[in-house]
Structure 1
Amino acid sequence: MKEFDLIIIGAGRASNLAVSAGKAGKKVALIEKSTLGGTCPNRGCVPSKLLLGYAHVANAIKESQRHFIDSSINSIDIKKIFEKTNSYISKIDSIYENKFNENVQIFKGEGSFISNNIVKVNDEQLTAPKIVIATGTRPIEAPHEKAWTSDDIFPLLGDIPKSITIVGAGFIACELASFFSGVGIKTTLLVRSQRILSNEDEEISAIFKDEFSKKMDILFDTSIKTTNYENNQFNLILENKDGTTKEHQSDALLYATGRQSNTDTLNLENTSIQIDKRGFIKRDKLFETNAKGVYVVGDASGKHMLQHAAAYEINHLGKILLEDCKEPLYFKYMPHAVFTEPEIASVGITEQKAKEKNIKYITSTTNWLASAKAMSTRLHYPVTKFLINPDNYEILGCHMIGPESSTMMHQVLAVMHINNDVRHIKEMLYIHPALSEALLPAAVAAVKEVEKYNKKS
């Protein structure tokens, strides 16, 4: 039995806690079954954005005609694109390993519980008074052995497909479709309903659907009835909701239909740790599970399945474990973005959720055309939508669609973080004619809607 001060299962964002604990003189066991760094830098956020950078340039050339520029792409070296991306991924493990001092011992293998305070990895047993579960999630398994999930894209080795069919309508499916289509691979997106990015505000997702559909083949109300793989090709029978079927072929088939908990590998039945109906671990306000001294953070809790949320939680858990902090962490807001073209950024409640929960609100949707920088893109769809509490001007939700939405959103987040009142955005001094200036008329319109509402009532 090896004794430690702290055991961490999962070396994604939680590796930062291992660094801090090691520097504080704690003896740490860090268990990781795959590559250090976890999903984000190896198979998720980072490599996907590196790929999308290439697609962005390709799309700009393809769409240059709207700027009265006649251009064409002679060739795209897709193998080189993946070589560069794979080269980055190959360095992640060593980059993370170099962060740890001599107090951190890395165990490569799958950790599981023997009891509340004993963890097994490979043939060794480890114990510690504090254990952190940060095992994240994994893609829902593809129903065909030759089909891919997002985990199979990074690194993509061997032959690059000339065509790909992607099943899904969430942000992972859309971002991967955006890349493959952008670099010239024939891309078909299969969506089981009429909606795409259904978690977004309905007004925003409707704009997205119109614009995204111009960039690739999207088959709505469609699912796969049968799958046959032979001669290095998928032969599919697709079925529409109206019962009609058609044949479809592609070199690759990728499923991006959601993610599931990794907690089924932990042998939690040997502990008093409880899970919910979805298989995610229950915890209290200080991240502690039903087993005393065992904590869960990040996606393993199923609460906020975003990298920036996990990093925020890990940082706060470090204060709890290393600085004796007794304060729970409350997120004032939880933003996210979809890095496709068009780009979406969102924070707070959507209008459909506000209606569902019977929350009092007013809305204001404003285009970006008051900004010369926005006008220079020669795009007409970008908008900002605010949901405001008419009683106190509080921003309940903000949803943007347009270039650099994720960057522009941080101006809204700063106000929400410090003193959540949309009037601050209205009263700010802006650099003219920066893209962010498009927020000024959006805030002015929102304030006017609140004043109009209050006059009526």
Structure 2
Amino acid sequence: MKKFDLIIIGAGRASNLAVSASKMGKKVAIIEKSKFGGTCPNRGCVPSKLLIGYAHVARAIKESNRHFIDSTINKIDVEKIFEETNNYISKIDPAYKKRFNENVEVIYGTGKFVSNNIISVNGEELTAPKIVIATGTKPIKAPHEKAWTSDDIFPLKGEIPKSITIVGSGFIACELANFFSAVGIETKLLVRSQRILSNEDSDISAIFKEEFSKNVDILFDTSIDEIDYKDKQFNLILINKENQKSKHSSQALLYATGRQSNTDSLDLQNTDIQVNDRGYIKRDEFFETNAKGVYVVGDASGEHMLQHAAAQEVNHLGKLLFENESKALKFKYMPHAVFTEPEIASVGITEQKAKELNIKYVTSTTNWLASAKAMSTRLKYPRTKFIINPDTYEILGCHLIGPESSTMMHQILVVMHLDNDIRHLKEMLYIHPALNEAILPAAVNTVKVVEAYKKDK
């Protein structure tokens, strides 16, 4: 049996822990069944955002008449777009492994628990006093063997389809539908209800639905009743909520209906490790499972499911294990973004969640038209919505929809990171007429709402 100081199962963001531990002289084994780097750089957020860059340019040209510019697109070389993206992906696995020194043993295979502190991989047993599970998640399986999930797009193999049907209403479905549609691939998005991006604040998702539907062909209240694949084409029978059926065909069929736990291959039944009813691994505030010395970070816990959260967790776990850190990691906030047209950024609770929790709050929604830079986009829909504790001026939630929302959100995050008082956003100096200046009237209006609430009370 091979002995190590640390065993890591899953070489995504947790590979950073292998790098830092090995530099301290620790003997590390890192096990990966696919590619180093994990989902984000290989099959998820990074390559999908590379594609969205192309979509953004294509949309800008198509919509140039908004700026009184008459333009046409002569050709979109989709094959070159995917070639460039695939080339990027091909460099990730070797780049990640280059960071390891001689103290790291790289093992390709599926790690399985024999007991709490023994891992079997490729017929060999390994043990260590500290084991980290970082196995991430996987897409919910498509119901037809020829249909894709998001894992099948990067790297895209074979012929690029001229048409695609996408099933889903979350951020993965919307981001990919935005790309395929923008670059000229005939795209239809199937949504089972009337809502899209339903986890977002309802006011924001309503604006998104109206704007997104202008560019992407969406069938709401619709699902697939039958799938037939013949001659490299999907022939679908669609059904709506009135049980009315219709036919639709496309060369590709993509299911983006969510992700699920990736821990079913770990043989956790041989350990004291417990999972919740969704199959995600339970852990304490220090990332430790019920098995002493076994930790879980990132999406495998099912808690935050975001790359930036996983990065913070891995970094903090390294401090707990090897740098005498004694404090648990407490996220003050957890922001996210949806990189589509329109772009959304959100942090904190939605208004519907505030109502569900029955907490005291006030809201303020402000357009961006006081900012000349925002006006230059000639878009009227951008909004900033604040949800505030009227007793303390604390930002409970903030939701942006409009160009560069993910960038603008960081200004709000700084205030939330410090003492979380929206009055700072009202009092600070902004570069005129930067896009961020749109936050100023939103903050001013929100403070007025809070003060009016206090006066009425």
TM-score, normalised by the number of residues in structure 2: 1.00
SS at match of 1:107: strand
SS at match of 1:369: coil
Q: Which amino acid aligns with 2:443?
A: A
Q: Which amino acid aligns with 2:334?
A: M
Partner of 1:84: 84
Distance 1:220 1:264 in 2: 33
Q: Which runs of 5+ in 2 are unaligned?
A: none
Distance apart, 1:324 and its partner CA: 2.0
Q: Which amino acid aligns with 2:137?
A: T
Distance 1:226 1:290 in 2: 44
SS at match of 1:436: helix
Partner of 1:335: 335
Distance 1:122 1:64 in 2: 56
Distance 1:291 1:395 in 2: 38
Distance apart, 1:326 and its partner CA: 1.5
Distance apart, 1:325 and its partner CA: 1.4
Distance 1:104 1:444 in 2: 54
Partner of 2:118: 118
What is the root-mean-square deviation in Å for CA atoms of aligned residues?
0.4
Distance apart, 1:7 and its partner CA: 0.2
Partner of 1:438: 438
Partner of 1:287: 287
Distance apart, 1:359 and its partner CA: 1.1
The answer as to 2:183 corresponding to 1:199 is no
Distance apart, 1:12 and its partner CA: 0.3
SS at match of 1:292: coil
Distance 1:443 1:363 in 2: 11
Distance 2:388 2:139 in 1: 36
Partner of 1:143: 143
Q: Which amino acid aligns with 2:113?
A: F
Mapping 1:35-434, distance limit 5 Å: 35-434=35-434
SS at match of 1:384: strand
Distance 1:309 1:359 in 2: 26
Q: Which amino acid aligns with 2:83?
A: E
Distance 1:416 1:216 in 2: 35
Distance apart, 1:123 and its partner CA: 1.4
Residues 399-449 of structure 1 show CA distances to partners (whole Å, capped at 9, x for unaligned) of 000000000000000000011000000001000000000000000000000
Hey, which bits of structure 1, 4+ residues long, moved more than 3 A? none
Distance apart, 1:60 and its partner CA: 0.3
SS at match of 1:73: coil
Q: Which amino acid aligns with 2:182?
A: G
Q: What is the percentage of aligned positions where both structures have the same residue?
A: 77
Residues 143-179 of structure 1 show CA distances to partners (whole Å, capped at 9, x for unaligned) of 0000000000000021110000000000000000010
Distance 1:143 1:136 in 2: 22
Distance 1:287 1:202 in 2: 33
Distance 1:429 1:56 in 2: 31
Residues 231-253 of structure 1 show CA distances to partners (whole Å, capped at 9, x for unaligned) of 11000000000111100000000
Residues 247-280 of structure 1 show CA distances to partners (whole Å, capped at 9, x for unaligned) of 0000000000000101100000000000000000
Distance 1:123 1:76 in 2: 49
Q: Which runs of 5+ in 1 are unaligned?
A: none
Residues 363-401 of structure 1 show CA distances to partners (whole Å, capped at 9, x for unaligned) of 000000000000000000000000000001000000000
Larger CA deviation: 319-328 vs 199-208: 319-328
Q: Work out the number of aligned pairs and report it.
A: 457
TM-score, normalised by the number of residues in structure 1: 1.00
Distance 2:93 2:244 in 1: 48
Larger CA deviation: 115-124 vs 401-410: 115-124
SS at match of 2:264: helix
